[in-house]
Structure 1
């Protein structure tokens, strides 16, 4: 059995396989902020409201004053936002809001339709504000596309972190966002998620390898789709084939895969899962099973705006001094790490 099906340079967005729809990697070196959590200066290449320059040290995306993504609709899939560094402010059409970062993960299901905003406030006025995150779009099966939108926080302190050493004493670390490693299982996602049923083998791992560390990714299933991304590392070998910096490998799901690190610290992302064996039709922020359902999503959004936007700004942020928190249903329930 061939363990490596393909190796190619990482694109933007990242190449993914079913049950995933899309994934993006944001890595921005924001400067200091002011009292409104805006950058103290903007780059000369900045395109107001549409700043995606891949060669710039940081981007404003669709934000006009604060970096990020002002309110926009989704239907039919889930977003899993993994923040390695920095802060994200969340607001949505259900009256929920929150602030998370520094290792936290937000798992949000758009279900039958929701509006949300994702802004990246630059909260420090004395130091730079580096921000790095992955956002992963996980498809919903047809029955899940009809469910009410929802979200939950996986706080950094509660996410399983496996730290082990290989046979030569070199350390590796797995942050288990979804799936299992050995006998250790991730926190549960939302109940309507494809990942909630453990037999679907959905895995999202953040892997850190110390120099020369070796890690074996275990065999799971012959029908599993599996992608491994070298986000930050030199000299990575996967079953003795080089996977260069910012390259990805599509791997067999039915074989043990040996990953060997080079002589630097490395950061890898693993995405895997059983495919959802249903038609996939995607159009912008909507992912459904047919063109008719896409048209219905467009019509529903035009007529209802999925409940409307209850906040006074299309790109709201929380208060400067706020810590990490999640507020649901207009403050009816509030949780902190």
Structure 2
């Protein structure tokens, strides 16, 4: 089960109490206090693990507590410190304080372990309180209490490319075609109910991650459909791929403008990401009709098709490409490229993966 948000009560361990004890042996004339110190309470850490992809393992255990320190003992023996608690989370997890709403930790780097709560100090034993005027101290410190905080864990998936489109435009079909992801694919809307990640290999040694989220509809930023719940999963992506359905009953201009508006309402920063456009389901109509609709869409954007594609897009269809993807030449007001595709017949799929890779590399 995929889970991307969970509320937890997290507590560090309480320090152990100091000990009140005295040395009483037959042949030790001046035996005095020898109560040991209490052990320190266990700390709480968050650790990022790339092998974890969901927060579902917290659903049955929402109260997490580090071990308490053990009390001190006689003969100046200190109590054992409590074992630390390590909370394992996937990359992209934010730890939010429920009371203040503050993002306390933003956990991105695999293998990183971050201290979150310190355990309470152990109390001092009575040996620390002896003096010339108090040779028989009957007092030892109690251990300090641990710290308890109610936090919310929010998972925002980390991907290089985020797919953005209306329901049933072919996002799941594309990611299953180009990557190792196996989402459900069916001919009805909202087939994708949870985000999916797929790794796309480019050559033998290069790859990037693509994220597929549930379809966005008009009003998604206000809570309609599933878009609001999952739009945050593309907040971390540097590149967006808008998927516009050539064969949909919805006008292509309407699809594009709606997607842009919903992204802008949800996050102005997200709306400024580099983006490209794939015109999907080109196989669902005649090549002549696909060419006509693609040309009209480019004209609507004020773009002209290129004479020859750098990435090998099929020259039988109108394709737009910016001449340079490098930051100093890239025009963020325009898409990096616009191309008709079909995952079913693999039209322009390989060139699409290469073009996205080159766009990502220039952003790294």
Same fold, TM-score > 0.5, yes or no: no
Higher relative contact order (Cα pairs below 8 Å, separated by 6+ residues) = 1
Q: Which has the larger radius of gyration?
A: 2
More helix by share: 2
More strand by share: 1
Measured against the shorter chain, the TM-score band is under 0.3
**Under a length normalisation based on structure 1, what TM-score does the superposition of the two structures give?**
0.24
